[in-house]
Each structure stands twice: as C-alpha cells, then as structure tokens.
Amino acid sequence: MSKKVLAVDDSRTMREMLRHSLSAAGFDVTLAEDGADGLIKLKESDPDVVITDINMPVMDGFEFIENVRKLKELNRVPILVLSTESHPDKKRRAQQAGATGWIVKPFDPEKLVSAVHRVSP
C-alpha cells in the first residue's frame, strides 16, 4: 500500500508541485491550504508523513506543528518543514515546535522524495 503524505502550503502552485513530485514517487497525496486546514485533513487522511510550509495565513506552520504534537493521536507523525527560510533561528523554532526535518524551497523533487522516505515509518 502506498504511503500517505499530507502536504500543507498556502500557494496553489507549491501544492500542485508537491502533489506532482510525490505522486510520481508513488505516494498518496492529500493537500491542505493552511495550518487549520492541515489539522482537519490530518485527521481525515491519517498520513505517514506531513510536509508543511511555514509562512501561511490563518495558521502558520509553527502553530500547525505545535498543534499536531498536542493531538492525542497522530502526534508522532514525522513532519517535514518546507520553507524558503533557512535561517537557523527559524529552524530551531521549527524544531522546538516539533518538526522532524527541514527542507529548503525550491525543492529538488528527488531530494524531497528521499527526505520523505528518510522520515517515513
């Protein structure tokens, strides 16, 4: 059974890029538009790995990750941050929020897929 990935990004372009790259690698992809949407889709889709943007409206990536880690179930799902930001402060912030790994945008599809494999159960 193919592994499920939830990708959260406010940019439709990025969402479609993620879907494109991950589906091609055989993942079952669910998309969400922001952190709040991500929390809903997380419960619906029960993903093996979550990929999230940081800078999003409504609920940003940090808050989203923190909220996931506070869930009763699904709180151990690996969460990869996908962001154009690469400042150490931001990375640390993400790590403190509970992020599993960090990928810098724009991403190389192959590396993205490897990263997902790297953290997926």
Partner 1 sequence: MNLDEIKETFFIECADQMVELETGLNTLVTDGVDIETVNSVFRAVHSVKGGAGAFELTNLVNFAHVFENALDIIRVDLGEATDSRLNLLLRAADVLNDIVVATRDEGEPIECAEITTELAQAFDISEVEEDDPDDAINNFQAVPISIMDLDLGDGGDEDASGDFDLGGGDGAPGFHVSFEPKPGLYLNGHDPQKLFRELAELGSLTATCDVDKMPVLSAMNPDDNYLSWSLVVDTDGELDSNTGEGKITEIFDWVSTECELSISYHAAEGGADGPSDNFDDFIGDDLMDIGEEGEVEGEEAPAEADLDAPLEGAAAPEETPAEETPEAPMAEETPETPIAEAPTAEVVELKPAEAEETKAAPKKVVKKTAQSIRVDSERVDRLINLMGELVINEAMLAERITNTGVALGSEVGVAMAELQSLTREIQNGVMAIRAQPVKPVFMRMSRVVREVCSATGKKAVLEFDGENTEVDTTVIEGLSDPLTHMIRNAVDHGIESPEVRLAAGKPAQGVVKLVAMHASGRIVIEIRDDGAGINRERVLEMALKKGIVSPEANLTDNEIDNLIFAAGFSTAETITDVSGRGVGMDVVRQSVQSLGGRVSITSTPGHGSVFSMSLPLTLAILDGMIVKEADQTLVIPVSSVLETLSLQEGDVTTLGNEDKVMQLRDKLIPIVDVGYELGFAKKRETFTGGTVLVVEGEKDCVGAFVVDSIMEQQQVVIKSLESNYQRISGIAAATILGNGRIALILDAADILSLHDTDANNNLAKTG
Full strand arrangement of the beta sheet holding 28-32? 28-32, 4-8, 49-52, 79-83, 101-104
What kind and span of H or E run contains 80?
A: strand 79-83
Tell the smallest beta-carbon distance from residue 19 to partner 1 (Å). Answer: 7
The residue with tokens 């059974």 is 1
Q: Which is nearer to partner 1, 2 or 114 (CB)?
A: 114
What kind and span of H or E run contains 91?
A: helix 88-97
Tell the smallest beta-carbon distance from residue 65 to partner 1 (Å). Answer: 9
| Residues forming the site for partner 1 (CB under 8 A) | 10-14, 16-17, 19-20, 34, 55-60, 62-63, 66, 69-70, 72, 75-79, 84, 86, 88-89, 91-93, 95-108, 111-112, 114-115, 118-119, 121
Tell the smallest beta-carbon distance from residue 101 to partner 1 (Å). Answer: 4
Q: Which is nearer to partner 1, 5 or 34 (CB)?
A: 34
Q: Which is nearer to partner 1, 44 or 111 (CB)?
A: 111
Give the DSSP per-residue string, 22-77. HHHTT-EEEEESSHHHHHHHHHHH--SEEEE-SS-SSS-HHHHHHHHHTSSSSTT-
Tell the smallest beta-carbon distance from residue 2 to partner 1 (Å). Answer: 19
